[in-house]
Every structure is written in structure tokens, then in C-alpha cells.
Structure 1
Amino acid sequence: MERCKDTEIITYRVATVADIDQIVEIEKAAFTVPWPAEAFYQDILTNRFALYLLMEYKGVVVGYCGVWIVVDEAHITNIALLPEYRGKKLGETLMKKMMSYAKEAGAEKMTLEVRVSNIRARSLYKKLGFQEGGIRKSYYTDNQEDALVMWVNL
């Protein structure tokens, strides 16, 4: 698969408890310190502010994005794609979809944290209009790396 220009075969849906195993597999493939399944169960079952949007390509879940929408602010909790689907503009497509969803849900601003070393992700977020807002010192527990806080008006 070169580029995913077949946007008609990319679909989105809200995750349910039945999707948690797939989310956790993507999480493990994407992050050095993946969230445990319990965190996703907690969000999906009891957190009325949380929503996970799944991206499916040809019927396979290839990515997801989590958000907490509180009043007029949306906080991206995580976004991840399976490694073999990176570099095909799917992350950008998924973020745009989540930004649109959050705006429709009443959010006026969106925020996220990103590793200061993750130049690729930072570049994507800047392309989508996010601006740097601050640093969270030693935010990541695996190596104490700082997180860059980014914001965008929706």
C-alpha cells in the first residue's frame, strides 16, 4: 500500500468496549509506555467526557484517537496508528476528523501533549493550526522527557 488515497474505504466510528483489545494492540505497537486496557475500559464505560474514534481501512481498525471534551475544551488523550499505516496521511485525516467531531460537540479549543523529540507529530499538529503553549517537565515516565503542550482554536 503506497498512499491511502482510497478515502471511500476509510471509515470512522466511536469505539465500544468490544474494541478495547484492538485499541490496546495499536497502543502497544505505537508507544513505549502503552496505556493498560483498564484505562480504556474506565474511559469508555464510566467517563462521560471521553470518546474514542476508530479509523478503519478496508474493514480493519488501523488507528484511534481519544479525546475528553469538557465544556468548551477538547483534550486529546492519545492518537495512534499501526506502524504499517504511518506516513500515509492517515494520522492527519484522523486528527481532522476528531477536530471536526469536537467542534460539533461544542468544543472551542483543543489541546494535547507531545514529546518534545517527536518532530514528525509536532509538524503535523502545526500544520493543523496547533501552537506551542508550554512545557510539562519530565512528563513521560519512561525517560522523563518533557512534553510540549499545544493548543488550537476550533
Structure 2
Amino acid sequence: MDNEFTIRKMVREDIEEVYHIECQSFSAPWTKESLYYELEQNLFAKYLVIELDGKVVGYCGLWVIMDDAQITNIAVHPEYRGRKIGEALLRFTIQLSREMNAKRLSLEVRVSNHIAQSLYKKVGFSPGGIRKRYYTDNQEDALVMWVNLI
């Protein structure tokens, strides 16, 4: 990446930008209300943003419950994809999960999303199973991917 990026904890003021990225990235985006709830009410949730030149260009949601961590959502603004921003955010999230004493980290990804699957494999995730008809917009299956953190 040519420019400097920063990964930090998401704050309330980031939700508009995060929601914009969410809507551009997913056919069934989370609502703003869901993002506010996750950020301010869910004690298990940790949300991160990645900034490039002072602009939020991606985010990641993480739940850590006991020794299990799960990425709930992760996205990079379409104009900034292909610049290793998602990879940097994933690697940071993996390290944060380790620091929070999680033993494993999981996520779900559409079976048709081969680009995301390749990225997840690159940072250490392996396929672990299928959740049938997981996505509500088109009933597509989800591939569950895991990485052991110990």
C-alpha cells in the first residue's frame, strides 16, 4: 500500500461511513440500528475501522465469547479493494483475538465468494463446514472457515 493506514476502535461517529460501506458491500446489509447496538450494547462485540489518509475505508466486527471469536462482518469500500487493506484488517483482528485469549476464530462466507475465501486462506483460515441456506437474501449456503489461534 502506498499510503499510510490506521486501524483503531470504531466510535459512534464512524457509523455513517461504516453503514455506507456495508450497503455497498452486501446485498442484505446490517441496519444502522444494528451497528449502534453492536457498538454500544453488545458486551461481546469489538468493532474496528481502518482509515486511509483520515478516511474510514473498511471495518470489522468481532465477537469474543469465552475462548471463541467470530468475525461477524468485515468489508472494505469497493474503491479501496485490492490494496491489501482487508488483509491488514484481518491480520490485526487475528492478533486482537489472540490477545483476548481466544483459541479459535471463525467466520462465514458465501460459497460463491471465491475472492474472499482466497484472502481468508491466505491469512490462515481453513474450510470447516457448510451452513445450508444461511443467507436470507437468496438462500445461498455459507462456508464456515476457522483458524486456530494457539
Is 1:44 the equivalent of 2:23?
no
Which residue does 2:58 correspond to in 1?
Answer: 63
1:84-123 equivalent positions in 2, closer than 5 A:
84-123=79-118
> How does the TM-score come out when normalised to structure 1?
0.94
Structure 1 window deviating more from structure 2 (54-63 vs 85-94): it is 85-94
Structure 2 gaps, min length 5: none
1:125 partnered with 2:120: yes
Match of 1:83 in 2: 78
Distance in 2 separating the partners of 1:47 and 1:135: 26
Note the alpha carbon deviations across 1:105-153, whole angstroms, 9 max, x for none. Answer: 1111100000000000001111111111110000111111000001101
1:15 maps to 10
Task: Output the aligned Cα RMSD.
Answer: 0.8
- Deviation track 1:1-26 (CA, whole Å, cap 9, x = no partner) reads xxx233xx100110112211111011
| Off by >6 Å, runs of 4+ in structure 1 | none
Give the one of 2, 5, 10 matched to 2:2. 5
| Partner Cα separation in structure 2 for residue 64 and residue 103 of structure 1 | 19
Match of 1:26 among 9, 21, 25: 21
Alpha-carbon deviations, 1:27-53, whole Å to 9, x = none?
A: 011111110011111111111110111
- State the one-letter code of the partner of 2:85: L
Partner letter of residue 51 of structure 1?
Answer: K
Distance 2:122 2:111 in 1: 16
Give the Cα–Cα distance (whole angstroms) in 2 for the partners of residues 16 and 118 of structure 1.
29
Task: Report the Cα distance in structure 2 between the residues aligned to 1:78 and 1:140, rounded to whole angstroms.
Answer: 13
Percent identity between the aligned chains? 53
Q: In 2, Cα distance between the equivalents of 1:106 and 1:48?
A: 16
Shift of 1:79: 0.4
Q: Secondary structure at the match of 2:21?
A: helix
Unaligned runs of 5+ in 1: none
Taking structure 2 as the reference length, what is the TM-score of the superposition? 0.96
